[in-house]
Amino acid sequence: MVVDTSLSGGRVVRELDELIRNRGKPKQIISDNGTEFTSMAVLKWSESMSVEWHITLSLANRCKMAQWRVLMERLEMNFSINTAL
pLDDT tens column, 45-76:
999 999 999 888 766 677 777 787 888 888 88
Q: What are the sequence ranges of the domains in the chain?
A: 9-84
pTM: 0.62
Q: For the residues 9-13, what does the mean pLDDT come to?
A: 93
Distance CA 67, CA 46 (A): 34
- pLDDT at 77 > cutoff 80: no
Helix residue spans in the chain (DSSP H)? 9-23, 40-49, 59-84
Written out in words, the top-level CATH class of the domain with range 9-84 is: alpha beta
Residue 32 neighbours by CB distance under 10 Å:
14
